[in-house]
Amino acid sequence: MSSQIDHLLNESRQFPPSPEFVAQSIDDPALYERAAADREGFWADQARELLHWHKPFTEVLDWTNPPFAKWFGDGELNVAYNCLDRHVEAGIGDRVAIHWEGEPGDSRSITYAELTDEVRRTANVLADLGVGEGDRVAIYLPMIPEAVISMLAVARLGAIHSVVFGGFSADSLRSRIDDAGAKVVITADGGYRKGKVSALKPAVDQSLADRNGEGEQQTVEHVLVVKRGGNDVEWTEGRDIWWHDVVPAASAEHEAQAFGAENPLFILYTSGTTGKPKGILHTSGGYLTQAAYTHKYVFDLHPETDVYWCTADIGWITGHSYVTYGPLANGATQLMYEGTPDAPHPGRWWELIQKYGVTILYTAPTAIRSFMKLGRQIPNEFDLSTLRLLGSVGEPINPEAWMWYREVIGGGETPIVDTWWQTETGGIMVSPLPGITAAKPGSAQVPLPGISIDVVDEQGNAVENGAGGLLAITKPWPAMLRGVWGDPERFKETYWEKFEEQGFYFAGDGARLDEDGDLWLLGRVDDVMNVSGHRLSTAEIESSLVAHEATAEAAVVGASDETTGQAVVAFVILKESFLAEHTPEGLATQLRTWVGEQIGPIARPRDVYIVGELPKTRSGKIMRRLLRDVAEGREVGDTTTLADTAVMSIISAQVK
């Protein structure tokens, strides 16, 4: 099958940074020159400039046993020391590390000195519970400061954390605890979500119960519980411990010990195509180097003055790299928010930006499109003038959402960094540098200095500008995953087998290069449709639909069709302002015609279904697999990972 994906949409708008932004930016075109001249030397410089090494490294990259890389292998450091103690020693202990806001409106501002003390106390508690180098600790918490404190305390001891998103079920939690062999679980009685307390401890109890089956071994010795929601919880004496009973009473004296750069830092599970969860393993030195480097340059960070807000949950890789490790390694001040964007009211995010004077906002396209649906009148009620940089993460952002984000949230002049990366890459790989790049709506644009990426055909040959193919990472990078926990064969087979001969990592995404050589992501290769012999990208058709003034969000799938092989089927959410004036049927017809005019008759949807919601995971990713089931008239598959499991029955009823 050809890897060429037909490119149908043309986007020619460009937005260079303003002279004022360029004048104050830390981004320097020389970064690209330095990296191109000596890639490994460039990364060694970043590691030395951005981190403290207890024992300096002499070797940069060991690639003698691909795909198993070692970066800065003979160096030693402590990740938590780099995020905390060294800032206090440098005299910035009174700088706020985290402004935290709870969903009900309670808040805390925690300085670097206070955060350092809290992490040291927690590390002492965990050490008393028997946690040491190489042990695994599962963290199942809401977005409260104790989540970041727990991660750093585990890292401080040279142990390995496995953060499980607080929205996952007891079964999902259990499979992750078992696969990692966790010794301790850190959780809370509950956390606030949409005005209610969502229980967490009962899911932990359930995941640790009923272990009489064959081969099931209980590895968890203790459960450390934060009191957050005020819920009554069942208690297992000898196993369960209240955080407030032990952490405040512990000593704040704790010397950070140095560990090897390749010491494992965390396991983060992604849903595999098989039933078994896939534990992505990241190590310390290379990961922290790339997290700090990308956070500094992609967000043009001025740590003395910026207030940075990444809206991701710590249960996802974005929360690891751009809430915990990157910002704290760089001494940044950041905002953390516990709740959802629409609680207790739909202007909550904009209210927080106004309250804390947020200067950098990093969020997902799905959130931006949700705000588009509600209308610009809500953000317009708040003062967003402190924002100087906007970022996008999680999936390709369509040009119209990009333009809305810039105009409505960014006041028409704020640069946007559209970032591409994955759980597996550990840090941002492709992004404009805001002080240098003329941004294009919808394009991630260029690999960062030090990163080697190409768009290739099925044989691994680079395609020319103007053509499309498969996105491959052609050289090792510092934050790259070091394996799948406990399954080296699965690691090789999943990521390296396709281009084994070339030694390329295959990301699973389709992409194209435009005439300037800039990169456009076309979505997962699995989501490409084959219509009458044309390979069409769902991302481009979704972009076309969202470009219509009535559309807030759209998801497109390919459904079996006797005539064309596959047909385009679209599920569309309309902006609220249009629902009063038009019938859904009339708008569906309009949208079919619109796509035909915008892209061409080949891409015109066979069916357009107007729906109230789309099936999304709690991280905001659209589950197109379930929409394909509906489009093809099948029984809908497993919905357990959805944020709202009722959505599919509502969509099915609307389609019928």
Whether 2 shows a pLDDT value over 70: the answer reads no
What's the pLDDT score for residue 529?
Answer: 78
Residue 12 in tokens: 């020619």
Q: How confident is the model at residue 246 (pLDDT cuts 50, 70, 90)?
A: very high
What is the CB-side half-sphere exposure of residue 60 using CA atoms within 13 A?
Answer: 15
Q: Give pLDDT tens digits for 107-144.
A: 999 999 999 999 999 999 999 999 999 999 999 999 99
- Report how far residue 573's alpha carbon sits from residue 601's, in angstroms, rounded to the nearest whole number: 22
Of 111-125, 291-305, 335-349, 470-484, the one with minimum mean pLDDT is: 335-349
Q: Give pLDDT tens digits for 402-443.
A: 999 999 999 999 999 999 999 999 999 999 999 999 999 999
- Report how far residue 616's alpha carbon sits from residue 167's, in angstroms, rounded to the nearest whole number: 13
Number of H helices, E strands in the chain: 22, 30
Angle at 348 between CA 343 and CA 353, to 5 degrees: 150
DSSP string for 284-319: SHHHHHHHHHHHHHHTT--TTT-EEEE---TTSHHH
- What predicted TM-score, i.e. pTM, was given to this entire model? 0.87
What's the pLDDT score for residue 215?
Answer: 53
- Per-residue pLDDT, averaged over 464-484, amounts to 96
- Per-residue pLDDT, averaged over 59-86, amounts to 98
Q: Give pLDDT tens digits for 525-562.
A: 877 777 766 767 787 788 889 889 999 999 999 888 77
Highest mean pLDDT among 167-181, 316-330, 534-548: 316-330
List the one residue out of 641, 645, 614 whose CA is nearest residue 167: 641
Whether 497 shows a pLDDT value over 60: the answer reads yes
How high does pLDDT run on average in the chain?
92
- Name beta bridge partners: 65: 68
- Name beta bridge partners: 524: 509
Whether 35 shows a pLDDT value over 60: the answer reads yes
Q: Give pLDDT tens digits for 149-173.
A: 999 999 999 999 999 988 778 888 9
Q: Where are the domains of the chain?
A: 528-655
Whether 213 shows a pLDDT value over 90: the answer reads no
- DSSP code at position 249: T
Of residues 145 and 586, the one with the higher pLDDT is: 145
What's the pLDDT score for residue 1?
Answer: 37
Of residues 47 and 541, the one with the higher pLDDT is: 47
Of residues 595 and 525, the one with the higher pLDDT is: 595
What's the pLDDT score for residue 214?
Answer: 47
Whether 368 shows a pLDDT value over 60: the answer reads yes
Residues 321-352 as b/e (b if ≥16 CB within 10 A, e otherwise) read: bbbbbbbbbbbbbbbbbbbbbebeeebbbbbb
Of residues 130 and 523, the one with the higher pLDDT is: 130
Q: What is the CATH topology of the domain spanning 528-655?
A: GMP Synthetase; Chain A, domain 3 (3.30.300)
Give every CB contact of residue 290 below 8 A, 6+ residues apart in sequence: 46, 426, 427, 477, 478, 479
Q: Give pLDDT tens digits for 58-67.
A: 999 999 999 9
- Report how far residue 51's alpha carbon sits from residue 588's, in angstroms, rounded to the nearest whole number: 55
